[in-house]
Amino acid sequence: MEQGEKSIEAARRELREETGIEGERLVGPVWVDDHWFRTADDLVHQADRYFLLRVGKPDVDVGGLDHFESDMMVEHRWWTLAELEETAERVYPVGLGGHTRRLLDEGPPQKPLQISSKSA
């Protein structure tokens, strides 16, 4: 997030910059996850906020990625909900398929739900 920016504003900006998708109808945050992780050099606190946006299957434009992001990006693709629920690949947050299924079945929560990126 940039100085003075609300989380939903940051999410819209990041979505536009990293995918080319406009997020005027973004909802949330629907989930939050605050956690710590260790890099080779440091201990880092990360505060993740997750939002919901229903889209078709638009083309993704990664031209707005910065150097750091493009170096980390291996690939991008659209996943079906069944693929997310069944994959053995590492996807964050852990349990994304189940979290998403509940979100679609129950609708967005009144307050963001605390989830964990470390366990389902």
Banded pLDDT at 117 (limits 50, 70, 90)? low
Return the higher-pLDDT residue of 59 and 97.
97
Provide the 3-class DSSP secondary structure of residue 60. Answer: coil
pTM of the full structure = 0.82
Pairing of strands 43-52, 113-114: unpaired
Q: Note the pLDDT tens digit of each residue in 46-89.
A: 889 999 999 987 888 888 888 888 787 777 888 999 999 999 99
Closest CA to 97 of 112, 107, 86, 113: 86
Q: 44-59 in b/e burial notation, b at 16+ Cβ within 10 A?
A: eeeeebbbbeeeeeee
Interacting residues of 104 by C-beta distance below 8 A, sequence separation 6+:
81
Residues 8-51 pLDDT 10s = 999 999 999 889 999 999 999 999 998 888 888 889 888 899 99
Which domains does the chain possess?
Answer: 7-114 (3.90.79.10)
Average pLDDT for 85-108: 93
- Beta bridge partners, 43, equal 38
Q: Number of C-alpha atoms within 13 angstroms, CB side, residue 35? A: 15
